[in-house]
Amino acid sequence: MIRVYTDGSCLGNPGPGGWAWAIPGGASASGGEAHTTNQRMEIQAVLEALKVIEDSEIEIISDSTYVVKCFQDRWWAGWQRRGWKNSQGKPVANRELWEPLFELALDERRSITWTWVKGHSGDQWNDVVDQMAQAAAAQARR
């Protein structure tokens, strides 16, 4: 199983933001946007990782309850059943990022485990992707 750490960062919310992913001892990537939100960058980090990682067994490790709970608690199934409305009947935020992420993450040829890790708690690789995402956000601010 490939373990992938992901994180998103935003300098102001909204503001310049960054995303990052890393495989311990392996590949990594990061990027940023001039005007975005932290939630969008958290989703973008996982989306970007799954675009390039082709392994069939993956563990996504994130400090984003928004992303992890979407998959662990199957929020996505309710959103789709309700025509992209959340449990309060409002349009699902960030749908344009969720849709391509679902296409990759829910592919039957993949088995993805979603693991939440507390941010800023001393987890080495969570700290690495946090620093990468913050650097990408700082670069996007320029």
73 among known catalytic residues: no
Structure tokens that stand for 21 in this block: 């992913």
Contact in structure between 31 and 48 (CB atoms under 8 Å): yes
130 among known catalytic residues: yes
- 16-43 pLDDT per residue, tens: 999 999 999 999 999 999 999 999 999 9
Dist. CA 41–CA 7, nearest whole Å:
7
55 among known catalytic residues: no
* Catalytic member of 8, 18, 31, 32: 8
Strand order across the beta sheet in which 28-36 lies: 28-36, 15-22, 2-10, 57-62, 111-116
Contact in structure between 64 and 10 (CB atoms under 8 Å): no
* Catalytic member of 7, 17, 32, 33: 7
- pLDDT top residue among 131 and 56: 131
- Tell me the angle at which helices 38-52 and 95-105 cross, rounded to the nearest 10 degrees: 30
* Catalytic member of 18, 33, 42, 48: 42
* Catalytic member of 120, 122, 123, 127: 120
- 42-95 pLDDT per residue, tens: 999 999 999 999 888 999 999 999 999 999 999 999 999 999 999 999 999 999
107 among known catalytic residues: no
35 among known catalytic residues: no
What domains are there in the chain, each with its CATH number?
Answer: 2-141 (3.30.420.10)
pTM of the model: 0.96
Dist. CA 86–CA 32, nearest whole Å:
27
8 among known catalytic residues: yes
